[in-house]
C-alpha cells in the first residue's frame, strides 16, 4: 500500500450514508483510531473498549441519535462494516469476522471482537506527515472548519504538533473558498449577527463576526450569499454543531437536546422562534434547499436511528 492508495481508501469513506442523511460514523471511527495510534503506536482495540467513546463521537458530531423514549441512545458503530481494505476484525480465537456479520454490540461482545487498521496502513501512519494528512482529509471531507478543533480534542489528535514534528507547515487541501465570500456575506447582513444582532467592532473592524455556510462548504455548499449567514462566533459554532437551526420561513430553532444551567447559557433558548435578520435590500435571502440540508444533516432533533 502506498500513501496515495491509503488516502484514496480514506477518501472513499465519503460514500457512507443512512437514507438521505450524512453518516460520518466511519470517518469518526477512523479518526478515533488515528488518535489512538498517535498516543500508543497501535490501533488494535476490542469492541468493548471502542464502543462507548466512538458512539459518543457519533452522537456529538453526527446527526442526532437521541430517542424521545430514552435519555440517551447509543449510536451504532461501524466496527464490522468499516472497509476491510483498511480494517481487520477478528474474534477472540483469532478468526476473521465476515464483513456481513451482524453489527450488533451483544453479538460482537460475546465473541470478543477486536480490530486494527491493517499493518501496511499503520506502517504509513507512523510518518507524522501521513498521519496528519489522513486526519485532515477526513475532517475536510466530512465536517466544517468550526468542528475540526473539537473533534481533534475529542479523539486526542494534535495536528499542529504532528506538523512541528516533521518541521513543515500544515498542508491544506480543502476546496478553496471563493475570494470575497466572507466580506460579501458580512456586508449583506450589515456586519451584525443574523441571530442575535451582535455588531461589535474594534475601531472600524468587525470583531467576533464570521460568515457561516448554511450547507457546509465541505458538503458542496456554494460560496454564495444565498448559502451564507453573518453570525457571531458563538452562534456560528452552535449552528455548525446543530444546537441552532432554521425552518423554511427562516425562524430560528433551538434543539430540544440543548441544556444549560446558567442564565447566559439559557439565553440561547430565547432565540427559539425568532426571525433571522434579513439581508440588505438587493441581496438574496437563504435558499430553502440549503435550509432543508442543514435541518436534515446537522440540526440535532430527537429521533431514532437503527443500531
Radius of gyration of the chain (CA): 21
- Please give the residue that has the higher pLDDT: either 164 or 137: 137
Q: Which of 17-26, 108-117, 194-203, 289-298 has the lowest mean pLDDT?
A: 17-26
Q: In this predicted structure, what is the pLDDT of residue 148?
A: 87
Q: In this predicted structure, what is the pLDDT of residue 136?
A: 92
Q: In this predicted structure, what is the pLDDT of residue 165?
A: 61
Cα 182 from Cα 300, distance rounded (Å): 26
For the cut 80, the answer to whether the pLDDT of residue 174 exceeds it is: no
Q: What whole-number percentage of the chain has pLDDT above 90?
A: 64
Write the pLDDT tens digit of every residue in 19-70.
Answer: 677 788 999 999 999 999 998 999 999 999 999 899 888 888 887 654 444 4
Domain boundaries, the chain: 3-165, 181-297
Three-state DSSP class for 21?
strand
Average pLDDT value for the chain: 87
For the cut 80, the answer to whether the pLDDT of residue 16 exceeds it is: no
Q: pTM of this prediction?
A: 0.71
Give CA separation, 100 vs 10, 61, 84, in Å. 20, 26, 11
Give CA separation, 90 vs 31, 83, 116, 166, in Å. 20, 14, 9, 34
Q: What's CA 49's distance to the chain center, in Å?
A: 22
For the cut 80, the answer to whether the pLDDT of residue 76 exceeds it is: no
Cα 100 from Cα 112, distance rounded (Å): 17
Q: How confident is the model at residue 146 (pLDDT cuts 50, 70, 90)?
A: confident
Q: What is the DSSP string of 195-256?
A: TT----EETTEE-SEEEEESS-GGGT--SSGGGEEEEEHHHHHHHHHTSEEE-TT-BEEE-T
Q: Are 27 and 142 in contact (CB under 8 A)?
A: yes
Is residue 46 within a helix (H) or strand (E), and if so which, with residue range?
strand 45-46
For the cut 60, the answer to whether the pLDDT of residue 198 exceeds it is: yes
Cα 38 from Cα 306, distance rounded (Å): 32
Cα 22 from Cα 54, distance rounded (Å): 17
Task: Tell me the torsion sign for CA atoms 181, 187, 191, 195.
Answer: negative
For the cut 90, the answer to whether the pLDDT of residue 125 exceeds it is: yes
Amino acid at each position: 500500500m502506498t500513501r496515495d492508495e491509503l488516502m484514496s481508501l480514506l477518501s472513499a469513506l465519503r460514500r457512507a450514508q443512512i437514507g438521505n442523511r450524512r453518516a460520518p460514523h466511519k470517518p469518526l471511527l477512523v479518526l478515533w483510531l488515528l488518535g489512538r495510534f498517535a498516543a500508543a503506536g497501535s490501533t488494535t482495540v476490542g469492541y468493548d473498549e471502542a464502543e462507548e467513546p466512538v458512539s459518543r463521537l457519533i452522537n456529538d458530531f453526527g446527526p442526532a441519535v437521541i430517542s424521545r423514549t430514552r435519555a440517551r441512545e447509543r449510536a451504532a458503530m461501524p466496527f464490522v462494516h468499516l472497509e476491510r481494505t483498511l480494517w481487520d476484525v477478528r474474534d477472540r480465537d483469532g478468526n476473521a469476522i465476515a464483513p456481513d456479520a451482524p453489527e450488533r454490540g451483544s453479538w460482537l461482545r460475546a465473541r470478543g471482537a477486536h480490530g486494527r487498521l491493517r499493518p501496511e496502513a499503520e506502517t504509513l501512519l507512523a510518518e507524522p506527515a501521513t498521519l496528519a494528512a489522513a486526519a485532515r482529509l477526513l475532517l475536510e471531507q466530512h465536517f466544517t472548519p468550526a468542528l475540526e478543533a473539537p473533534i481533534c480534542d475529542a479523539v486526542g489528535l494534535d495536528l499542529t504538533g504532528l506538523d512541528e514534528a516533521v518541521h513543515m507547515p500544515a498542508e491544506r487541501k480543502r476546496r478553496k473558498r471563493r475570494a470575497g465570500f466572507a466580506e460579501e456575506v458580512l456586508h449583506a447582513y450589515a456586519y451584525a449577527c443574523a441571530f442575535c444582532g451582535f455588531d461589535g467592532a474594534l475601531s472600524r473592524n468587525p470583531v467576533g463576526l464570521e460568515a457561516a455556510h448554511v450547507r457546509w462548504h465541505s458538503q458542496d455548499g456554494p460560496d454564495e450569499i444565498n448559502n451564507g449567514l453573518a453570525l457571531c462566533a458563538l452562534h456560528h459554532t452552535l449552528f455548525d454543531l446543530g444546537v441552532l437551526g432554521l425552518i423554511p420561513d427562516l425562524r430560528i430553532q433551538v434543539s430540544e437536546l440543548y441544556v444549560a444551567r446558567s442564565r447566559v447559557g439559557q439565553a440561547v433558548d430565547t432565540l427559539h422562534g425568532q426571525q433571522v435578520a434579513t439581508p440588505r435590500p438587493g441581496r438574496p435571502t437563504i435558499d430553502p434547499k440549503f435550509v432543508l440540508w442543514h435541518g436534515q444533516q446537522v440540526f440535532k432533533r430527537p429521533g431514532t436511528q437503527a443500531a
